[in-house]
Structure formats: structure tokens, C-alpha cells
Amino acid sequence: MQKKEYIQKMFAGISHRYDFLNSLLSLRRDRYWRRFAAEKLQSGLILDVCSGTGDVAIEVSKRSHAVASDFCLEMLKLCEMKIKKSNITNACCIQNDAENLSFKDNSFNGAIVAFGIRNVADIKKALSEMHRVVRKGGRVVVLEFSQPQNRVFRSMYHIYFQKMLPAIGSLVSKKSGPYSYLPSSVMAFPKREEFIELMKSSGMKEIQYYDLTFGIVTVYVGSKL
Ligand SMILES: C[S@@+](CC[C@H](N)C(=O)[O-])C[C@H]1O[C@@H](n2cnc3c(N)ncnc32)[C@H](O)[C@@H]1O
């Protein structure tokens, strides 16, 4: 099975437990991380790529119009339900592949991806697509897991992330694959400097990054000039 198909099926399988596990496994820090990332965008029309159940799009909709996109219908259905339930009128959902966005060039004021870029098969292609659909002067924001920089904290965190998290995740979701995949995909993800290079080679300029919560996650901000 190709990575794309595997990822699509994996998220379909855990969609009903996704929000609960996010909140539990991050000790509710995930809300702060998404808010911080969303606040790095200018206002206007914003594309949320790999939107999943839509928490970033919902955060973005507090200041802007949001388009939530994902290739997994099961996740998007939950996103749609949450938008409706919260009576949000300036956000919508659309099925889309991050590596082949169906939007015209320069059609958004900004684009954001949270915990999604690690899952796409071709990271540079997805970053280039985000850069393509953003107007000049707009930003591309990426929120992703990182390796904490402090050695002592990193070893403690690895025990949690590589041993405890997969155990809790598989117990709650009743699926062992996805929560073992999570730590291994984070370990395989490019380091900060390498990721910045990928952003640069996708056309982004003036790249800045912010480590949050001891560097468990990093927010990257690039501009289209
Ligand atoms: C870990 S979830 C993140 C969801 C959400 N952004 C959040 O902050 O919780 C990753 C999402 O990326 C989506 N995804 C992975 N590869 C994709 C691709 N090539 N195109 C569109 N969506 C993709 C998955 O379906 C899944 O919903």
C-alpha cells in the first residue's frame, strides 16, 4: 500500500477518537499550539491544509474566513459537524490533496498546516502547493512536532512519546498502528534547519521559527514575497 492510501485509511480509522486523544495525549496543550500558529497569519481568506477535524480552521475563523481541506472524508465530516454545531458561518470544508491543491494561484491571504505536513508523501510538493495558492505578501505557517533541544528533557519526553503515548493511544482508539506511527514519523521528520531549507526551496522567504513547550512542537512561518 502506498503511503498516501495508508495515511488516508489510518485517519479514517481513528477519526471518531482523534480530538479526544489529541487533547488527552498533549495534556490540552494542542489548543495553545494551534492558537499560537493561527495568530501568525494575517487576516483575510485562509486555507487550512490537512485540516482533519478542523480545529485550526475554527481557530482561524475567529479572525478570518477559513477553508478547511483534507483528503480524508471521515475527518472532514467531523470538521463539518463541528463548524455547524458552533454556528460558524465563515468556514467551510473541501476534500483536497495537499500535494495537488485544486485552488488557483494566489487565491488565499495565507495558508496553514498543523500536524499534517509530516504525513504527506512529498513534503516539498505540499509546501510548494501552499506557496503557490498564497498571494504575494501572504504567509505559510507550519505547526509540527519537533525534537526538544534540551538533552535531559528530551530523554524524559522520549520515554513518554515512544512508550506511554502508543500504549494509551492504542488502548483508547483500539488500534495499535496509528499511535506507533506517530512517534516514528516524528523521529523521521526533518530537523528544524533541514525543514527551513525545504521551505526555502519551496519558494518561501524570511522564514522564522518558534519552539513551543520546550521544543515539543515548532511553528515555522514563511512569507511569499
Ligand atoms: C494529524 S492530522 C492533523 C489534523 C489537524 N490539522 C489538527 O491540527 O489536528 C493529519 C491530517 O492530515 C491529513 N492528510 C495527510 N496527508 C494528506 C494529503 N496528502 N492531503 C490532504 N490531507 C492529508 C490526514 O487525513 C489527517 O486528517
Q: What is the pTM of this model?
A: 0.96
CA of 48 to the centre of ligand 1 (A): 10
Question: Which atom of ligand 1 lies at the shortest distance from residue 113's CA?
Answer: 6
Domains in the chain, CATH or no CATH each: 3-149+189-223 (3.40.50.150)
Say how many Å lie between the CA of residue 116 and the centre of ligand 1. 4
Per-residue model confidence (pLDDT) at position 47: 98
Question: What CA–CA distances, in Å, run from 191 to 22, 64, 89, 194, 220?
Answer: 23, 31, 38, 5, 12
Calpha distance 130→132 (Å, rounded): 5
Q: Which of 35, 94, 119 to mutate to test the pocket of ligand 1 (most atoms within 8 A of CB)?
A: 119
Q: Which atom in ligand 1 lies closest to the alpha carbon of residue 19?
A: 9
Q: Which of 14, 26, 72, 185 to mutate to test the pocket of ligand 1 (most atoms within 8 A of CB)?
A: 72
Q: Where are the alpha helices (DSSP H) in the chain?
A: 3-25, 29-38, 55-60, 73-85, 123-133, 151-159, 165-173, 177-188, 192-201
Which residue ranges have their beta carbon within 6 Å of ligand 1? 4, 7-8, 11, 22, 34, 50-52, 55-56, 70-72, 75, 97-99, 114-116, 119-120
| Ligand 1 centre distance from Cα of residue 52 (Å) | 5
Task: Name the grid cell of 53.
Answer: 477535524
- Per-residue pLDDT tens, the chain, 225 aa: give them: 688 899 999 999 999 999 998 998 888 999 999 999 999 999 999 999 999 999 999 999 999 999 999 999 999 999 999 999 999 999 999 999 999 999 999 999 999 999 999 999 999 999 999 999 999 999 999 999 999 999 999 999 999 888 998 889 888 888 877 888 889 999 999 999 999 999 999 999 999 999 999 999 999 999 999
How many Å lie between the centroid of ligand 1 and the Cα of residue 70?
A: 6
Question: Which amino acid residue places its CA nearest to atom 16 of ligand 1?
Answer: 120
